[in-house]
Amino acid sequence: MLNRRQRHILKYLIDHERFVTVRDLAEKYKVSERSIRYDLDAIAYDVKKNGLALDRHKHRGVRFVLPKEERGRWLHRLAGEPDYSNRLSAEERRDTILGVLFHQHRPVSSTDLADLLYVSRRTVVKDLKRVEAWLKSHRLSLTYVQNKGFRITGAERDVRKALAYLVSNRSHDDRDLPFKLTGLADEHLDLVREAVFEHVRTLPYELTDSSLDGLIFHIAVALQRLRKGHEITMPERELAELRSTQEFKVSQSIAHSIASRLRVSIPEAEAGYMTLHLLGAKLLHKHAPVSISLEGPVKHFIRETGARLGTDLTEDRQLMRGLMVHLRPTLYRLKFNLRLNNPLKDDIMQEYTPIVEAIAHSVPILEDAFQVSFNDDERAYLALHIGAALERQSGVKRRPRVLLVCGSGVGTAQLLLGRIKRYFPNLDIVDTCPLYHMSPEWLQQKDVDWIISTIPIDGLPVPHIIVNPFLTVQDRQKIASRIQQEQENQAEERMAGPVLEDVLAPELIKLDVEVENWQEAVRQAGQLLIDHNHVEPRYVDAMVRMVEENGPYIVIDQGVAMPHARPEDGVKSLGLSLLRLSNPVNFGHDKNDPVKLVICLSSVDAEMHLNALRQLASILSDNENKQILLTGGKEAILEKVQEVSQI
């Protein structure tokens, strides 16, 4: 979309149909010649999208000649086209200025920027402050050159990262716009595309279109930067690590192909950065190998996240494998600052709030191990993996108990029974019977969840589905929808779960208890759960054993431990006990010892307790509220528990 001045210039060129010099246009519109050149670049791009071209001559200037039948359409379009400059937000102006500064290898004045954006110099000054803050967050600087203007300064590696980040986050319908921003000639860009497509085919996996575009964009930027004398370097240690990968060999082939075709010299470091793009690419399928070096940190991350969620996730092999496959490209992507937008981020943050909060505490394990920083998009992807693991653990507590009712005789009933078992083996068929046998009392004895019937049923308190005895496709869809709905309802009930006030009852709180060691602390807190029939005695043994076998990962915060074991270790019902020690004890944690609060959890599955746990975490995350648990009386603690239970 063209701004107002650019539309005026294009209309002027259409009306005159003759060459006009840049100087004449600059004088006409009272702006600098540089601003006019920016405008002509934008106009050239706009008309090119419509299959036309500006006629630009080095000495004579520029002209735009249209066939007579096209003139009316173009003039009408220019008259009705909205003013793009009025639609630019502060953020959009910031990004536009960044784009200009990145691609101009000479200082740009605030006057030129004001002309380009069609805003006042005062507005540009405010925008430049936003530009400066953005650059600082990417380890770059905005430098003013006396009497010339502004330019970006910093390490070449940081310039490349920042530019890639800027373009990857542009929301624009035109897929080719990022490539235009590189300034690479169309024919050269085509050569780059051909080289990339030719050599990535040799990889044992496919890349998405966006990943291929990202690599092509990176190469286009690299070529322009190299021509301006900006060569990038990579530490030998990193290069040595990359040389052994198949992606590096492919990157070298791409670099050699482009170098020979365009007659440029491409250093090995550029191939190294191409390799990072390939390693960080989003795969169309997940059959790429995973590195054994990921295993230790991922296990640690899973263990710590599970501890904060009050469940043991360490035995879930599918979670371990899924995270390792996911993290392989993620780590390279984060290392090169290539952002992958997560379209489900907002939904995940809302749906999996306790999981997201737990990951916020445990993700530094991965960040420290691999020297990267996870943004909200990437954390949301991690939450999906953890959420799926919790749902696998919880599962469906029992199969739906279904009664089959048939009014057409035993043979029909057996036909329906056979087909139900064939298509829905996950249903527990309680019985088959005629309608006249049933009564509310009889159904209650049978403990039936719902009925599948071949005839209409009235007056019974159990939901029912009417089907054909032959169980048509439509009938099967009705039953499948019912099963799915019940599973979703169960999942929602588990994720909502009781509030903290319902779980942490007054009789489960014991304050200022004297113990000799952490084992005794766990056993005394566990005894509260035994005394109130939440767990069997063997559950307490299991909690102690898990710490002995896996270490003090249950010490989730400064001075706070949350022992727990698996539901199958003797859980009877959901419960939470709080034991406050008169003298803190050490669990062996390198950061959070000594422990004063021991909070024991028993849960029938991996999700039912999450709502209460989220509310407990909100107390622990606030220093003032946490002090109530550490020093307050039982009445003050219960008052705070009641308060957060309303959230």
pLDDT tens string 88-141: 678 878 888 887 888 777 888 888 888 777 778 888 999 999 999 999 988 899
Position 519 confidence tier, pLDDT thresholds 50, 70, 90 = very high
Does the structure show a pLDDT above 70 at 83? no
Residues above pLDDT 90, as percent of the chain: 25
Where do runs of H (alpha helix) occur along 309-428? 317-335, 345-351, 353-362, 364-370, 376-394, 410-423
Per-residue pLDDT tens digits for 374-430: 988 889 889 888 988 887 776 544 578 888 887 655 667 778 888 888 888 888 888
Question: Angle formed by the axes of helices 353-362 and 295-308, to 10°?
Answer: 130
pLDDT, tens digit, for every residue of 131-179? Answer: 999 999 888 999 999 888 999 999 888 887 787 677 655 544 444 444 4
Query: How does residue 291 score in pLDDT terms, banded at 50, 70 and 90?
Result: low
Q: How many CB atoms lie within 10 A of CB 542?
A: 21
Residue 24 has pLDDT above 60, yes or no: yes
Q: What residues are labeled active site?
A: 564
> CA 571 to CA 588: how far, in whole Å?
27
pLDDT score of 285 more than 70 = no
Tokens representing 641?
Answer: 């528990």
- Which among 345, 491, 467 has a CA at the least distance from the CA of 415? 467
State the chain's mean pLDDT as an integer.
82
Q: Sign of the C-alpha dihedral, residues 205, 207, 212, 215?
A: negative
Is a pLDDT exceeding 80 seen at residue 474? yes
**Is the model's pLDDT at 611 over the cut of 70?**
yes
Question: Is the separation of the CB atoms in 52 and 14 below 8 Å?
Answer: no
Q: How far apart are CA 6 and CA 180, in angstroms?
A: 18
Instruction: Flag whether pLDDT at 563 surpasses 90.
Output: yes
3-state secondary structure of 154: coil
566 falls in which pLDDT band (50, 70, 90)? confident
Do residues 612 and 508 lie in contact, with contact meaning Cβ atoms separated by under 8 Å?
A: no
Tell me the C-alpha to C-alpha distance, in Å, between residue 367 and each of 35, 291, 327: 44, 17, 12
